[in-house]
Structure 1
Amino acid sequence: MRVRILPRETAAAVITGSVSAAGWAVAAATILLTVPVLVETLVQRERIADLPLPLILLGVVLGGIVAVVLRPRRWVAMLYLAVAGIATLGYEVTLLIGDPEIVEHSPYLVNRPSLALVLVGIPATRAVVGIAWSLLGFAVSVVTGVVAFAIVGMTFSPGFGPLMVLGLATLAYLTLASIQARIRSRVPNFDDLESETQALEHGEDLARRTTAVVHDTLLNDLAVVMSAPDRIDRRTRERLLVDLETLRGADWITASAAVNLPAEDAGLRNNLARMASEFQWRGLSLHLTGSPIAHHVLAADVADALLAALRASLENVLRHSGVTTAEIEVIADPEHVTVMVTDRGAGFDPDAVAPDRLGLRTSVVERMGSVGGRAQIWSAPGEGTSVIISAPTGQRGTS
Structure 2
Amino acid sequence: MNRTDDSDLARLERIGSRFVGLGTLAFALVMLPVATSTSGLTEPWWTPTSVVLVVGPAAALVAVTFRSEPGRLVPLVYAGALGYLIATLLWFVAWRGVPDDTARYTVWLVQFPSLASIALVLVSRTRWAVVNLVVATLLAHAANQVGLYGEVHSVPLLSAPLTMALSGVFIAVAYATTRTVRSLDDRRAATLRAAASSAADMAQESERARFAGMIHDNVIATLLAVEEGRPDPRLVRAAASALDELDRGEDPDASAVAVAVVAERIRAAAAAVGGRVRVDLWVPDREIFYPAEAVAAIIGSTAEALRNWSRHAGAGAGCVVTGEFTDDTVRVTIADDGAGFDPDSVGDERYGIAVGIHGRMDVLAGGSAEVHSQPGRGTRVTVGWRRP
TM-score by length of 1: 0.46
Q: Look at both structures and tell me which one has the larger radius of gyration over its CA atoms.
A: 2
